[in-house]
Structure 1
Amino acid sequence: MPLTSHLVRLPSAGLLLIQLLGILLYPLLEDLHQGRALLSAFGVVVLAAALRMVRRSPAVVWIAVVLAALILALMLANALAPAPLPALLLAALEGSFYLYAAGSLIAYMMEDQRATTDELFAAGATFTLLAWAFAYLFMVCQMLNPGSFGAQLAPQAPRTWMELLFLSFTTLSGVGLGDILPLTPMARSLVMLEEFSGVMYIALVVSRLIGLTIASRRP
C-alpha cells in the first residue's frame, strides 16, 4: 500500500512523521537567511496536522480552531512587522494549542477499551506534541525573563528554538541528558511540570495502551 494511503488511514502516523521530520529540519533551517519564514511555513503544516487529529477526538473542536486562527494571524503579523509582543503572544498561543492538541489525543486514546494501530501512533504523536508545547512555554519564559536558561556553550546568550526543544525532549523523556539548565524560578517550575507530565503520561496512558494490546492478543 502506498505511503499516502497509510497516512490517510492512520492520521496519527502522519502527525508523528511530520513532527519527527521537524526535528531533522529545524537545525538546517535555523541558520538559513530565510530560515524564519521556512520555520513558520513548516509550523503551519504541523498546525494543520494537529488540528486534523483534534477533529477526530472527543475534544471541543472550536477551541482548537480559534487557537489555530489566532496563531495564523499572529504568524502573519510577526512576519510583516516583527516585534516582541506579537512574538510573545504567538509563542504562548502555540504552547496552548499544542497542550490542547495533546490533551485531545489522550482523550482519543482513552475513549474505548481497545488499542488500535492509529492509537499506538497517537501515543508517539502525543509525546511530540507535549514536547513542542513545553518548548514554546520555555520560549515564553525566556522572553519574559531573559537568562532563564543557561548552557555551557554561550551561557549568556538567549537559547535558540532548537535548544529549547532539545531541553523539552530530554526533560519529558526523563533521560536527563543535555547541557541546558533552568536558572530562574519560573524556568525551574516549568521544567518540574514537564517532568511530572512525562512521568504521568508514561504511567497512565502508555502503560494502558500496552496493557490493552497484550490483552487483545491473548487467546
Structure 2
Amino acid sequence: MSPIAYVKEHPSAGLLFIQLLGVLLYPWMEGTALGRALFGAFGLVVLGLALHVVKRSPGQSWVGALLAAAVLVLSLVDMLVTSRLLEAFIAIAEAAFYLYATMSLIAYMSADERATTDELYAVGATFTVLAWAFAHLYSFCQLISPGSFGAQLDPEAARSWMELLFLSFTTLSGVGLGDIVPLTPFARSLVMIEEFAGVMYLALVVSRLIALTVSKR
C-alpha cells in the first residue's frame, strides 16, 4: 500500500505523522520571515488534517469547521493588521479548535468495543492535538499577560512557540523538566489543568484501548 493510500485509510496516522514532523521542523521556521510564512502554511495543513479526522468522529463536524474557519479568517486578517489583541484571539480560537478535535478523537476511540489500527494511531494523534491546544492556551496567556513564563535561558524574553510547545509536551507527559516555568497565577492554573488532563488521558483512554487490544487477542 502506498503512503497516500495508507493515510487515506488511516487518517489519524497522517495527523500524527505531520504533527511529529512539525516538532522537528518548527525550530527552523521561527528565525526568518520565510520560515514564519512556512510556519503558517504548515499550521494550516495540520488544521486541515485535524478537521478531516474530526469529520470521521461522532462529534459535530460543523462545530469543527466553524472553529477552523474562524482561525483561518483571523489569520488572514492578521497578515494585514498585526496587533497583540488579534494574535490573542487567534491563539484562543486555535486552542478551542484543538480542544474540540481532542474531544472528537476521544469520542471516536470510545465509539465501539474494538480497537482498530486507526484508533491506535488516534491515541498518539490525540496526545499531540491536546499538546497543541495547551501550547496555544499558553500563547494566549503570554499575550494578555507578558512575563507569564520564565526560563533559565534569557528569562525576561517572551517564550517562542517552540518553547511553549515544549512546555506543553513535558507537562502533558508528566516529565516536567522545569527549565520553562509558569510565573503568574493564570499560567500556573493552565499548567495544573494540563497536568490533570495528561494523567486522566493516560489512565482512562489509553488504558481502555490497551485493554480492548489485549482482550481481542
Q: Aligning the two structures, in what range does the TM-score lie when normalised by the shorter sequence? A: over 0.9
Partner deviation per Cα, 1:11-30 (whole Å, 9 max, x = no partner): 00000001001101100111
Question: Matched residues in 1 for 2:22 and 2:129: separation?
Answer: 12
* Structure 1 residue 178 displacement after superposition: 4.0
Query: Could you tell me how far 1:177 is from its partner in structure 2?
Result: 1.5
Read off the aligned partner of 2:176 and give its amino acid letter: G
Runs of 4+ deviating beyond 6 Å: none
2:125 corresponds to which residue?
125
Query: 1:151-162 alignment to 2 at 5 Å?
Result: 151-162=151-162
The alignment of Structure 1 onto Structure 2 pairs a total of residues equal to 217
Give matches, 1:12-51, under 5 Å: 12-51=12-51
CA distance in 1, matches of 2:176, 2:42: 28
Q: Give the residue type in structure 2 aligned to 1:196.
A: F
- Please give the alpha-carbon distance, in whole angstroms, between the structure 2 residues aligned to 1:66 and 1:49: 15
Residues 141-187 of structure 1: per-residue CA shift (max 9 Å, x gap): 11111110000101000000000000000000001124000010000
Q: Where in structure 2 are there 5+ consecutive unaligned residues?
A: none
Residue in 2 that maps onto 1:60:
60
1:33 Cα deviation (Å)? Answer: 2.5
Matched, 1:110 2:118: no
| Alpha-carbon distance in structure 2 between the residues aligned to 1:119 and 1:22 | 21
* Corresponding residue for residue 140 of structure 2: 140
8 A contact 1:64–1:101 mirrored in 2: yes
2: CA distance, partners of 1:88 / 1:141? 8
SS of the aligned residue for 1:137 comes to helix
Structure 2 Cα separation of the partners of residues 208 and 194 of structure 1: 20
For the residues of structure 2 that align with 1:215 and 1:58, how far apart are their CA atoms? 24
2:187 maps to a residue whose letter is A
**Alpha-carbon displacement from aligned partner over 1:177-199 (angstroms, at most 9, x marks no partner):** 24000010000000000000000
Which residue is equivalent to 1:10? 10
Show structure 1 runs of 5+ residues with no match: none
Match of 1:73 in 2: 73
Report what 2:165 is aligned to. Answer: 165
Cα shift at 1:137: 0.1
Map of 2:197 onto structure 1: 197
- How far apart are residue 35 of structure 1 and its match? 2.2
Q: What CA distance in whole angstroms lies between the structure 2 residues aligned with 1:106 and 1:13? A: 15
Query: Which TM-score applies when normalising by structure 2?
Result: 0.98
User: Does the residue aligned with 2:150 lie in a helix, a strand or coil?
Assistant: strand
SS of corresponding position for 2:29: helix
Match of 2:150 in 1: 150
Larger deviation, residues 1-10 vs 198-207: 1-10
Normalized against structure 1, the TM-score is what? Answer: 0.98
Task: Note if contact 1:37-1:79 (Cα within 8 Å) is conserved in structure 2.
Answer: no
